[in-house]
């Protein structure tokens, strides 16, 4: 496989991976944002570290469920 074809295949895999991520996780993230929008706005001002903790817990659950499946 030449260098250009390997680079093109990596580029295409990246594009397809982005579409997969938006399709699989986008709806979940939008639902969380919509449901907790006002609370998230308050947290952004008062305790921004807590948003990072919530994101960490959400991604840990997502990765654990992928691993389990």
Non-local (6+) Cβ contacts of 54 within 8 A are: none
33 touches 40 (CB < 8 A): yes
Distance CA 60, CA 39 (A): 22
Alpha helices in the chain (DSSP H): 3-35, 37-46, 48-68
Q: Please tell me the predicted confidence (pLDDT) of residue 1.
A: 57
Low-confidence ranges of the chain (pLDDT < 70): 1, 35-37, 40, 43, 48-51
Domains of the chain, by residue range, sit at 1-25, 36-69
Q: What is the pTM of this model?
A: 0.42
């Amino acid at each position: 496989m030449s260098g250009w074809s390997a680079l093109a295949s990596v580029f295409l895999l990246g594009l397809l991976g982005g579409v997969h991520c938006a399709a699989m996780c986008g709806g979940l993230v939008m639902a969380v944002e919509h449901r907790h929008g006002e609370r998230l706005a308050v947290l952004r001002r008062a305790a921004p570290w807590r948003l990072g903790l919530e994101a960490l817990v959400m991604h840990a659950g997502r990765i654990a469920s992928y691993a389990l499946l």
